[in-house]
Amino acid sequence: MTFAAATAIGPAGDGVWTGGIAPGWDIMGNANGGYLMAIAARAAAAATGRPDPVSVTAHFLAPGRPGPVMAQASVVKEGRRFSTATAGIEAQGRTLLSMLGTFAEATTDSTVERVDAAPPDLPPPEDCPLLVATETFPPPFVDRVEVRLHPAVGAPGVGSGGPKVEGWFRFRDGEPVDTLGLLVAVDAFPPTVFFADLPIGWVPTIEMTTHVRARPVEGWLACRFTTRFITGGFFEEDGEVWDATGRMVAQSRQLALLTR
């Protein structure tokens, strides 16, 4: 099932849409967070009439299992260029996530005033190992997305170069990644802290914010994830996604809990 089909929603009236968590978009039974955000963002985009997220924040309240969901969205403000909406996803009476986001038409303005960064220096995709199941880290919906890690990253769970992950992303079936697909790209890689030489269990995300800076062109996306502060039981994970033209198209940050 394509990403577009797996995040499709149908109007159910009065700011409500029906949809579903498709099988295969989960990690050990729990829907990928970025994928859930894409469903909520689709509802918010429908509510605002503006197709592209500019900045979306989700707080994750309960794990999502494959099956039907209800998305709701409500416009808070409609402006000339931007519209802001709240959105949520519910399943079996439980709220899975709550979202607040601003939407627009993705800018075609590719002016670069100043960039103090460069895309990750990755070997060609064919020379980057495909992320597959290991004993310590099952594949994040590997039949849906193709994540190829920089060879220097090593295997998840095997501490190596510190909490930094770089690699390529695309959908498995070659479907182009649109601005909603970027919400998945920033949450598709193994957590940085799995490479930090720490005894770590699960890492539930409290909150994730993604800024979409431009509509990506077709092709592989080069991604980088870093963590600088693992303190007090929390860590942040910062992400960047660069498209095939070398533009940074999405920036993300999530706050997650460290469990043993």
Chosen residue from 1, 130, 154, 253 binding a copy of itself by CB under 8 A: 253
Quick check: 233 binds a copy of itself (CB under 8 A)? yes
Q: Are strands 94-104 and 221-226 parallel, antiparallel or unpaired?
A: unpaired
Smallest separation, CB 15 to a copy of itself (Å): 15
Chosen residue from 117, 132, 158, 217 binding a copy of itself by CB under 8 A: 117
Quick check: 162 binds a copy of itself (CB under 8 A)? yes
Of 63-71, 78-86, 135-143, 181-189: span binding a copy of itself (CB under 8 A): 78-86
Nearer to a copy of itself, 85 or 145 (CB): 85
The residue count of the chain comes to: 260
Question: How far is the C-alpha of 43 from the C-alpha of 29, rounded, in Å?
Answer: 23
Quick check: 16 binds a copy of itself (CB under 8 A)? no
Smallest separation, CB 124 to a copy of itself (Å): 25
Give the N- to C-terminal CA distance of the chain in Å, as an integer: 35
Smallest separation, CB 130 to a copy of itself (Å): 28
Q: DSSP for 57-85?
A: EEEE-S---SEEEEEEEEEEEE-SS-EEE
Quick check: 260 binds a copy of itself (CB under 8 A)? no
Spell 219-243 as b/e; 16+ CB within 10 A means b.
Answer: ebbbbbbebeebeeeebbbebbbbb
Question: How far is the C-alpha of 164 from the C-alpha of 195, rounded, in Å?
Answer: 7
Spell 77-101 as b/e; 16+ CB within 10 A means b.
Answer: eeeeeebbbbbbbbbeeeebbbbbb
Smallest separation, CB 139 to a copy of itself (Å): 26
Nearer to a copy of itself, 99 or 222 (CB): 99
> What torsion do the CA atoms of 32, 228, 123, 155 make, to the nearest 10 degrees?
-60
Quick check: 32 binds a copy of itself (CB under 8 A)? no
Quick check: 211 binds a copy of itself (CB under 8 A)? yes
H or E, element range at 187: none
What is the amino acid identity at position 43?
Answer: A
Quick check: 248 binds a copy of itself (CB under 8 A)? yes
Interface residues toward a copy of itself, by CB under 8 A = 54-55, 57, 59, 61-62, 76-77, 79, 82, 84, 86, 88, 95, 98-102, 107, 109-117, 162-163, 196, 198, 206-207, 209, 211, 213-214, 227-236, 247-248, 251, 253, 255, 258
